[in-house]
């Protein structure tokens, strides 16, 4: 019995792949798990193994062809099986006679014997109750294969794709784009069975009989121009690349793709954006060369954002952030206490161990794990800072674990993944967990449940050079710590002889915003004072293997 080789899902946001090289040819004997074909996506380049042992009966997709996840790549079977059987029939790009393509016709309506399977909005996390349809990737009448992405969904936690629950034909779309519906809502219907058209996607490169011979323009013909922009205007690019191009204000029709088959990749868009910035930076007005009062022509001009002068819909995540920030300020009585901490000893310790630490642990040693370690230790002493209030019930819950939220800046907005049981981790453990959740949050690979359940939040506002700010509490928590930039400044210190002297020290501001309904100013000051003592003592040698 023949076995189909399909394009697998190579990541949550990967919807397609390009065949770069076939490692086997029709008629070759293959073993189970032996590499068959090389696939390139905008995320990874990888090999697809054979799902079974046998003979390669048919190759469905040519090299340099781009196909959707779930599409059939090849057929594996017994040597005795006919390569012309329905399962192993050659695709249009193989060497067979091809008639003129038949005109496209709508798929027939499902017969009574066929079944319809609903596409429903799944539970995308413990606290997620609804989602918004941002884009349908298929239209009514399209053939689909099981697990092929059908539509894109946005929630207040993640943006993701909903796969087809079965192979068949999309016969109904029940929820329009930009509509918000509850978990469990029926989004659409797929018809399966005898009446449903075959789910194998139509070939994208099937040649038609030529009607005339049209010579290719010569490369040195001035009238020929460049064919790439015209081709790229209609070429398919991934949703990730389209979103990036929109954010950067790049017209995809002007970008020359460097991917397989000339496909435009993320790197091509970034390169085009960088080239535009370089060109705008090198441009000077004629007056600048003749007017001595103006800045020198060598000074780069400031790049103008493509958002300037535009009016567009606010993204769903931005709306959620806005709503929650306003609700937080309306819910609790918030104020901020700031202290100054001398972290010179930690700076010296970092300089001493950071190279070996990165080699051993696989992540860089920044100041943030030290701040997080000091905060979770202080939370154990001051449980009122690690608590939540239920005004309706008139209760306060003092949490028995330190679930540390880490504010992460992404291209979609600020998200707060949670490191659970952070109070049980040492410096190395915190550094690795912070790096892990931050990377996965920025690449949209963090799960919805990892974005909830925090009991205290740390936001590293100093990562962009801010000295301090007054962060807004992440409800239903009662406090959030803002860590400022570590800067060297002249500070008055007492020397060994008891004299006041001025010394250059590494200093940082720590700002604690807290809910005054539960936390008093004295509590906030004691909490920060405990952190200050811990950080200035810098007794972290044992945790760093010294």
- Tell me which residues are annotated as active site: 516, 520
Dist CA 199 CA 186 (whole Å): 21
d(CA 401, CA 421): 6
Tell me how far apart the 2 most distant CA atoms of the chain are, in Å.
98
Q: b vs e for 437-457, b when ≥16 Cβ sit within 10 Å of the residue's Cβ?
A: bbeebeebebebebbbebbbb
Distance CA 125, CA 448 (A): 5
Q: Closest Cα to residue 159, out of 133, 186, 185?
A: 133
Q: Which residue spans within 121-265 are E strands per DSSP?
A: 130-136, 143-144, 149-154, 159-163, 168-173, 180-182, 186-192
Separation CA 461–CA 480 (nearest Å): 12
Check: CB of residue 188 under 8 Å from CB of residue 40. Answer: no
Six token digits for residue 482: 């803002």
Q: Which two tokens stand for residue 505?
A: 């020290």
Q: Residues of 323-360 as b/e, b for ≥16 C-beta within 10 angstroms?
A: eeeeebeebbebebbbbebbbbbbbebbeebeeebeee
Token pair belonging to 96: 């067979």
């Amino acid at each position: 019995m023949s076995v189909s080789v399909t394009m697998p899902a190579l990541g949550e946001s990967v919807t397609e792949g390009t065949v770069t090289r076939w490692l086997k040819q029709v008629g070759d004997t293959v073993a189970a798990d032996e590499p068959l074909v090389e696939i390139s996506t905008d995320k990874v380049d990888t090999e697809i193994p054979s799902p079974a042992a046998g003979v390669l009966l048919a190759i469905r997709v040519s090299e340099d062809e781009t196909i959707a996840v779930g599409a059939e790549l090849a057929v594996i079977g017994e040597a005795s099986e006919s390569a012309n059987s329905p399962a192993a029939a050659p695709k249009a790009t193989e060497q067979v006679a091809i008639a003129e393509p038949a005109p496209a016709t709508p798929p027939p309506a499902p017969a009574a014997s066929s079944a319809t399977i609903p596409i429903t909005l799944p539970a995308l996390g413990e606290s997620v109750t609804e989602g918004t349809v941002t884009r349908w990737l298929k239209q009514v009448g399209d053939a689909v294969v099981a697990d092929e992405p059908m539509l894109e969904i946005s929630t207040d936690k993640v943006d993701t794709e909903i796969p087809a629950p079965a192979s068949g034909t999309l016969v109904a779309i029940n929820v329009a784009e930009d509509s918000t519906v509850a978990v469990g809502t029926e989004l659409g219907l797929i018809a399966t069975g005898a009446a449903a058209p075959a789910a194998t996607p139509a070939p994208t490169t099937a040649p038609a009989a030529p009607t005339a011979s049209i010579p290719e323009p010569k490369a040195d013909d001035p009238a020929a121009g460049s064919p790439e922009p015209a081709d790229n205007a209609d070429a398919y690019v991934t949703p990730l690349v389209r979103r990036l191009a929109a954010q950067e204000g790049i017209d995809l029709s002007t970008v020359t793709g460097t991917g397989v088959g000339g496909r435009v990749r993320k790197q091509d868009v970034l390169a085009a954006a960088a080239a535009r910035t370089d060109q705008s930076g090198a441009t000077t007005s004629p007056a600048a060369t003749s007017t001595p009062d103006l800045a020198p022509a060598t000074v780069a001009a400031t790049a103008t954002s493509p958002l300037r002068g535009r009016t567009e819909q606010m993204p769903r995540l931005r709306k959620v952030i806005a709503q929650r920030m306003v609700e937080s300020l309306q819910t609790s009585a918030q104020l901020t206490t700031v202290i100054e901490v001398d972290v010179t000893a930690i700076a010296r310790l970092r300089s001493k161990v950071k190279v070996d630490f990165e080699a051993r642990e696989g992540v860089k040693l920044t100041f943030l794990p030290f701040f997080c370690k000091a905060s979770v230790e202080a939370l154990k002493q001051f449980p009122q800072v690690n608590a939540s209030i239920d005004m309706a019930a008139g209760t306060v819950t003092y949490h028995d674990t330190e679930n540390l939220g880490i504010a992460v800046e992404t291209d979609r907005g600020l998200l707060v993944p949670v490191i659970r049981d952070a109070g049980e981790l040492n410096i190395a453990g915190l550094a690795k967990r912070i790096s892990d959740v931050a990377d996965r949050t920025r690449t949209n690979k963090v799960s919805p449940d990892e974005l909830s359940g925090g009991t205290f939040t740390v936001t590293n506002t100093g990562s962009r050079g801010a000295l301090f700010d007054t962060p807004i509490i992440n409800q239903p928590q009662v406090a959030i710590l803002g860590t400022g930039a570590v800067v060297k400044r002249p500070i008055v210190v007492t020397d060994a002889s008891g004299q006041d002297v001025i010394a250059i020290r590494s200093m940082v501001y720590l700002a604690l915003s807290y809910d005054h309904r539960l936390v008093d100013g004295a509590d906030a000051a004691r909490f920060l004072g405990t952190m200050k003592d811990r950080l200035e003592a810098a007794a972290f040698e044992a945790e760093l293997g010294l």
